[in-house]
Amino acid sequence: MPDKIKSRVDTLISNMSLRAKIGQLNQPETPTENNIEEFKEAVRRGEVGSILMSVGATAGNDAQGEINVDFYNELQKIAVEESPDGIPILFGRDVIHGHRTVFPIPLAMAASFNPELIKKCYRDTAIEATNDGVHWTFTPMLDLCRDPRWGRIIEGTGEDPYIGARIAEAVVAGLQGDDVSNKDSMLACAKHFIGYGASEGGRDYHRTEISDYSLYNYYLPAFRAAIKSGAMTVMSSFNDISGQPITSSRKYLTDILRNNLGFDGFVVSDYDAVIQLIKQGVAENSEECASMALNAGLDMDMHDGCYMDNLEKAVNSGAVSVDVIDEAVRRILTVKMKAGLFEHPYTKKIKLNRTEHLKDAREMAGESIVLLKNNDVLPINKSAKVGLIGPFSHERRSLLGSWTIDGKADETPTLAERMREVIGGNLNCISSSTLGWNSVNKNIAAADVVVLALGESWSATGESRAVSDITISSEQKELIKKAKTYGKKTVGVLFCGRPIAIEEIAEDLDAVLYAWHTGSEAAGAVSDILFGDVQPCGRLPVTLPRKATHIPLYYNVTSSGRPVNCYYGENPGNCYIDSMPTPYYPFGYGLTYTTFKYSDIKTDISKIAVSELKAGKKLRVSVNVTNKGTVSGKETVQLYIRDVCASIMRPIRELKAFKKIRIAPGKAENVTFDIGYEELGFFDDKGNYIVENGKVELYIGENCLTGKKTSIEIV
């Protein structure tokens, strides 16, 4: 901490009353008409350190209304000019994947394998949100998730810790900019710490079981990267791990988060998480809740008022020391000062031109969409007669996805509108949800190519939106089978938030585009790809299973002692005798409108010493990638490792690097990766990082199932 900020913070704290200090730890939600005056009085007394700019626990699924900048400026003026210490309020809002301009849901952005573009989109987001007075957003969500039944999988980065880390870096850099104190920079908040995405059965808010070894190697890397990139706030998670609620756990919030990961910012609870310690059975009353959470290292209490109502009593009883409160206040005030809140507490709204932001949104959506199958039907000739059918033909709101508080459905083009811009009268569009089968039959019969716009509603995803059946509706499956009976080339466009079980869907389609919920420009991006104006280049950041009953199914699994590593096709009939348990589409998978050939994989050295790796030496892995088609295309070259024999079981494959490159038709690119100490080791169950002697296999290819490999020896 710079000496100047430390001195200012120390001076402030020395002059604050205990009540005012506790006020800095208090984050109520935006007042309603019924309690505005009472709320203003609390601000005057210095009892509001931050305001949650929304109402309700599931703000991402509930209408919130537009931000009234004048109202928040009024509250800020009271805090700065009328409260005892003149400390400005920190305004926080769930700006998860865009503001007025909505970008793809985070899971879809992960499919882009393009951190630089993600960073750019979050820079756009910060510019828009800060113009509405938002200082702080509760993203990136870094919960590694292997169960797509969990509705909040849409907010994260999928099943891989390496991708999670790279996206964490991009989001933090985009939101906070070159200088977090700039008026158009917004504080990031890495959430949910830790293990929330492992909720048992995909049921939101439920218990988790995570070993310390898995915690350090799978669940913590993205948080480590976010902190290293400058994230100044972290949100704790609702869940427990092995019976220990995170909210009251000093092990997780102090020993691991602060002492191991080096986090020095402040921790905010999730909505009402402090008071829920009673329900979780570890606290008898609200005073115990407040004491346990604060002593564990949780600095700011979101919404439930547990700190505000109880910490004075806890100090008087000796359950909490003033020193602990001072330290929490110190962290919060330090972040406020670093964010420039004392220098520019008010928002002066300006008129923004979002033209470039919308262009970025279309590019991001285009890079996120994954082509899963293509039997010589895409791209569609623009002179063809196209029948567009399905419930998502005219859909607007679901294209934006869940956790879209400030985007507007009425500004979101439909797929029918965007396709008609390209082929005009050659498009015949109906919605199977509003018209009978006779109309559907006529549409199919008249078409050269049928496009089925299918998917899941935005309201079936997000917080408290777990589902037991991860597939599309039976009516949509019936529509696919109806189209197939005509023998027409049929394209399925799947607008989904989560990964779905895709058996009995993909088989009956000639082409499949996984379009996710890709935001304001989703329809335009899909149209661009359908007609060949943009090459598909997304890659799956999660596994698409055949059946929901195969969950969990993820690529970075350890090897069985028996020959039944089913993900990798080893005797899959021995995993389940009644179904094929291999992934329908594996992690990293995606097609383009051309084909690529990999050749000449090699390393510049065959052996390297642990001491050399620790000293910073790296080995170079290279591969030639040739575009064998007639059009230019983007390929995501992926490098995986396998530690063949270690002191503890290691995954069969681990993604350690990737590069997304464009290659002209008939041309070859030599792609290189420099691999060193950070890529070749792992954490033990105490959080110690280890690189061991032995053989390491290096796989390079188009997805995690690649068989192209070389190896090195660590000595």
* Ordered domains of the chain (ranges, CATH): 1-91+272-350 (3.20.20.300), 135-268 (3.20.20.300), 355-550 (3.40.50.1700), 594-714 (2.60.40.10)
Please name the residues in contact with 715: beta carbons below 8 A apart, sequence gap of 6 or more. 607, 608, 609, 610, 693
CA distance 467 to 148: 9
Judged against a pLDDT cut of 90, whether residue 49 lies above it is answered with yes
- Across all residues in the chain, what is the average pLDDT? 96
Nearest one of 646, 652, 715 to 683, comparing CA atoms: 646
Q: Can you give the length of the chain in residues?
A: 715
Judged against a pLDDT cut of 60, whether residue 188 lies above it is answered with yes
Q: What is the pTM of this model?
A: 0.97
Q: Stretch 692-712: mean pLDDT, rounded? A: 97
- Looking at residue 491, its pLDDT comes to 98
Active site residues: 270
Do strands 596-603 and 619-627 pair parallel, antiparallel, or not at all (unpaired)? Answer: antiparallel
Q: Tell me: the pLDDT tens digits for 162-177?
A: 999 999 999 999 999 9
Judged against a pLDDT cut of 70, whether residue 262 lies above it is answered with yes
Q: Tell me: the pLDDT tens digits for 406-460?
A: 999 999 999 999 999 999 999 888 765 544 566 778 888 889 999 999 999 999 9
Q: Tell me: the pLDDT tens digits for 523-549?
A: 999 999 999 999 999 999 999 999 999
- Looking at residue 431, its pLDDT comes to 67
Cβ-contact 233, 189 below 8 angstroms: yes
Cβ-contact 431, 390 below 8 angstroms: yes
Q: Stretch 596-624: mean pLDDT, rounded? A: 97
Q: Tell me: the pLDDT tens digits for 20-48?
A: 999 999 999 999 888 999 999 999 999 99
- Looking at residue 409, its pLDDT comes to 96
Q: Measured between alpha carbons, how far is residue 218 from residues 146, 190, 630, 639 in Å?
A: 11, 16, 40, 18
The lowest-confidence range among 53-62, 116-125, 379-388 is 53-62
Give the orientation angle of helix 286-296 with respect to helix 322-338, to 10 degrees.
Answer: 60
- Looking at residue 2, its pLDDT comes to 75
Q: How many CB atoms lie within 10 A of CB 712?
A: 21
CA distance 297 to 634: 46
- Looking at residue 437, its pLDDT comes to 63
CA distance 395 to 476: 15
Q: How many CB atoms lie within 10 A of CB 543?
A: 26
Judged against a pLDDT cut of 50, whether residue 127 lies above it is answered with yes
Judged against a pLDDT cut of 70, whether residue 256 lies above it is answered with yes
pLDDT band at 57 (very low <50, low <70, confident <90, very high): confident
The encoded tokens of residue 192 equal 């949910």
Q: Which residues of 380-410 are buried (b: 16+ CB within 10 A; e: fewer)?
A: beeeeebbbbbbbbbbbbbbbbbbbbbbeee
Q: Stretch 377-396: mean pLDDT, rounded? A: 96
